[in-house]
Structure 1
């Protein structure tokens, strides 16, 4: 009984530690992406936001990774192929899609790697580029920039993907 209790306490301490570190690691990425998207929207509308995603999003994401961890976004219905999920991400994405959970998770990838994920659910503003009622000029630009785009047809509140942290 004592060993079981110690094992459970160790696991929860382990998960809590990665949860805290994961939240801290993702915050700068989420803030920077949102700041740039809002600036693009304000200056050039939906086309400006799309340009931010196309030109700046990957650089912003890469700049927030460190020697201790990598951060990113992924989806089963990705727009940018560079955000395609790895096998462990696919499992998490499928589970979130099925359960509709809004809770972040700590995931043991293998004996040496651990990850933290937060689900992304669409808000109204996101529907401008990811919804089912996209203007024809914007849709044309999306198709031009992302010929393999799978990231449209959503409604507010739909599960979109995950923010992730992979600890080294």
Structure 2
């Protein structure tokens, strides 16, 4: 009987020791929180010299970078602050024409042009021109903005620098 009790006690202590070392693995979770990010970035200011003809003066297409990681997509618009205005005599104005196209895009979503062209008509109080695009999900794009100075008849407006400002605005859908 003593032999059995001693053997039983030895088995109990071996079993107890093996239970103490049973936790040989564990886990840890790593999480990265990504906020909704939307941005529209303009290139440097653009300048041209009029060629002194009756032809509209087209600026080189300007690449605007657009980032939108909203799963429902984004809307981006580009609007003039008015027609081209002479910086020394604002009574002299020329209309501005905008065009928008997709240069490139990446992501699971895609951009489409919703309003491809627009033009001011200051003589009829249409002082804002707006073009726009939308995405249907997470996407980055380079959108080319085309701007034209509408000449009309050369020589019917004063010499000088004419300016308009285009503002890009992005919103989540």
Between Structure 1 and Structure 2, the one with more strand by share is 2
> Considering only CA atoms, is the larger Rg found in Structure 1 or Structure 2?
2
TM-score by length of 2: 0.24
TM-score by length of 1: 0.25
Between Structure 1 and Structure 2, the one with more helix by share is 1
